[in-house]
Amino acid sequence: MGLFKFAGWLLTNAVALAVACQLFDGIGFHGGATSGWDEVSDKIWPLVFVALILGVVNSFVSPVLKFLSIPFIIITLGLFLLLINALMLLFTEWLAGLFDIDFFVDGFWTAVGGAIVITVVTWIVGLLLGDAQEG
């Protein structure tokens, strides 16, 4: 993976996560910041780290779960994918906690809504970035 492709991938995940944090009160980061540049860096770096964790989880864990869940995905006409994506967001929250990042997702239904928003925003940003994501 080239540097530009990695940067585009990370930017896509960070933007999608930031939009989900803005739309849902139950998704975000604990802790307050001071002011000025400290406030910006206190928000951006945790967002980038959680976006990295989410991207790794979606790249490695999610495909395995989707493959193992093919019968359920077929039976539910794809709705089971919502459950898998929500679980990946909750798993990301747990992993972020292991790295002392105060990221939170309040409950399963918030995770479902956040997963939908992240999926749609990732798709839109991917369309906008176009070639940076491919090849």
State pTM to two decimals. Answer: 0.84
Q: What is the mean pLDDT of each run of 10 residues along the chain (135 residues)?
A: 84 93 91 52 85 94 95 95 95 95 94 96 87 50
Secondary structure (H, E, C), the chain: CCHHHHHHHHHHHHHHHHHHHHHCCCEEECCCCCCCHHHHHHHHHHHHHHHHHHHHHHHHHHHHHHHHCHHHHHHCCCCHHHHHHHHHHHHHHHHHHHCCCCEEECCHHHHHHHHHHHHHHHHHHHHHHHHHCCC
Q: What pLDDT was estimated at residue 43?
A: 78
Give the start-to-end residue ranges of the domains of the chain. 52-135
**pLDDT reported for residue 34:** 43
**For position 35, what pLDDT does the model report?**
46
